[in-house]
Amino acid sequence: MSETSPKLRAELAGIPTYKPGKPAAAGGPVAYKLSSNENPYPPLPGVMETVTAAACSFNRYPDMACTGLMDELAERFGVPVSHLATGTGSVGVAQQLIQATAGPGDEVVYAWRSFEAYPIITQISGARSVQVPLTPGDVHDLDAMADALTDRTRLIFVCNPNNPTGTVVRRAELERFLDRVPGDVLVVLDEAYREFIRDPEVPDGVELYRERPNVCVLRTFSKAYGLAGLRVGFAIAHEPVAAALRKTAVPFGVSQIAQEAAIASLRAEDELLGRVGSLVCERTRVVDALRGQGWTVPDTQANFVWLRLGERTVAFAEACERAGVVVRPFPGEGVRVTVGESEANDIFLRVSEEFRKEA
Ligand SMILES: Cc1ncc(COP(=O)(O)O)c(C=O)c1O
């Protein structure tokens, strides 16, 4: 065998690997997965039927233009089809956005800690990550982010609500920030958890996009709509950004099953958003209980809570796992816990109470 190996791009060295939320242990007494911000509800029967029917023709390629889904989204959001682009989950669309805007020598600005895919997809493109620390209250520091812009900045992510802290930026501060961003820099409002927001001061990114050609809104069917395993997300953006997204898309990336499921989910929105409402009630219950136990919990508008445990992070995650719930530790920083089934939330709250007493 030859001693040499194929030359790979230097930018790939040292890319952090995406750490998926750990699955619940198979065969354990009770095991709940609260590590990936998934929707705990099973698929709706109607969506299941649609998926089963669509599965009968997977010998064929899907509709590459996602025509039916695009029409449905255009109507739902009141935007032209030419302002829409779909992808393999919103993380796929986020990667297309970077490919379309940033290469070697360019900069991508985002808060940190935030969604762990941002540094990975930035580095893959050869661009440089500019990570702006969250405030001590775990919120985006938009003034510092605006100060961090240079003539190399090509794209900014604003994750609202932020993963993993659940914190939000509100209308006035976001508009002030957008006013400071030059028109030739793309601002991506990552709204993967939009449907879980109850704070009326948090703007709907789609409103902001209408007035601002450099704003792009990212949404997903993975969370509120419960289609995480089918991989479909989308962006709403003006031309030429939406057109660039179509150019950078993997051909046939969104399966026909995913397209049909997404359409069926939009049509069953009332029922799905009812489930979101129940999860929001659970979120309030969990946050109140944690605060009652003495924890400092940032206000969360997403389907997860953040505990800044520092050095005790891993120990806490292990205690959760022993008790039957898998959470997402960020060693040395904190633990992100998805709001799931009530039984799972109860187990988590029992562990947090014990842990608090021992500390
Ligand atoms: C902030 C944020 N954006 C995007 C995504 C990607 O979701 P998907 O690719 O499933 O649409 C996630 C998933 O966890 C997320 O937390």
Per-10-residue mean pLDDT for the chain, 359 residues long?
A: 86 84 68 96 96 96 97 98 98 98 97 98 97 97 98 98 98 98 98 98 98 98 98 98 96 98 97 98 98 97 98 97 96 98 98 92
pTM beyond cutoff 0.85: yes
Q: What is the pLDDT of residue 26?
A: 63
* Ligand 1 neighbours by CB, cut-off 6 Å: 37, 89-91, 115, 159, 163, 190, 192, 220, 222, 228, 233
Q: Tell me which residue of 129, 114, 315, 309 sits closest to 218, measured CA to CA.
A: 114
CA dist., res. 227 & res. 1, Å (int): 45
Q: Which atom of ligand 1 is nearest to the CA of 161?
A: 1
Instruction: Give 163's Cβ-side CA count (13 Å radius).
Output: 22
143 Cα: distance to centroid of ligand 1 (angstroms)? 25
Query: CB burial class (10 A; 0-12, 13-18, 19+) of residue 105?
Result: exposed
Q: What is the pLDDT of residue 18?
A: 82
Ligand 1, atom 6: nearest CA belongs to which residue?
Answer: 91
Q: Which atom of ligand 1 is nearest to the CA of 114?
A: 1
Q: What is the pLDDT of residue 79?
A: 98
Q: Tell me which residue of 273, 265, 275 sits closest to 48, measured CA to CA.
A: 265
Q: Which atom of ligand 1 is nearest to the CA of 94?
A: 4
277 Cα: distance to centroid of ligand 1 (angstroms)? 20
Q: Which atom of ligand 1 is nearest to the CA of 162?
A: 1
Pocket test for ligand 1, best of 36, 90, 227 (most atoms within 8 A of CB): 90
357 Cα: distance to centroid of ligand 1 (angstroms)? 34
CA dist., res. 217 & res. 220, Å (int): 10
CA dist., res. 343 & res. 285, Å (int): 12
CA dist., res. 317 & res. 23, Å (int): 13
315's tokens? 């120990």
Q: Which atom of ligand 1 is nearest to the CA of 37?
A: 14
Q: Which atom of ligand 1 is nearest to the CA of 92?
A: 9
Residue 46 CA, chain-centre distance (Å), reads: 25
Backbone region of residue 189 per phi and psi (left: phi > 0; alpha: psi in -120 to 50; beta: other values): beta
CA torsion through residues 351, 357, 358, 359, sign:
positive
Ligand 1, atom 8: nearest CA belongs to which residue?
Answer: 89
Q: Which atom of ligand 1 is nearest to the CA of 222?
A: 10
90 Cα: distance to centroid of ligand 1 (angstroms)? 6
7 Cα: distance to centroid of ligand 1 (angstroms)? 31
CA dist., res. 108 & res. 110, Å (int): 7
Amino acid at 10: A
192 Cα: distance to centroid of ligand 1 (angstroms)? 6
The C-alpha R_g of the chain, in whole angstroms, comes to: 21
Ligand 1, atom 3: nearest CA belongs to which residue?
Answer: 192
3-state SS record for the chain: CCCCCCCCCHHHCCCCCCCCCCCCCCCCCCCEECCCCCCCCCCCHHHHHHHHHHHCCCCCCCCCCCHHHHHHHHHHHCCCHHHEEEECHHHHHHHHHHHHHCCCCCEEEEEECCCCHHHHHHHHHCCEEEEEECCCCCCCCHHHHHHCCCCCEEEEEEECCCCCCCCCCCHHHHHHHHHHCCCCCEEEEECCCHHHCCCCCCCCHHHHHHHCCCEEEEEECCCCCCCHHHCCEEEECCCCHHHHHHHHCCCCCCCHHHHHHHHHHHHCHHHHHHHHHHHHHHHHHHHHHHHHCCCCCCCCCCCEEEECCHHHHHHHHHHHHHHCEECEEECCCEEEEECCCHHHHHHHHHHHHHHHHHC
32's tokens? 């709940």
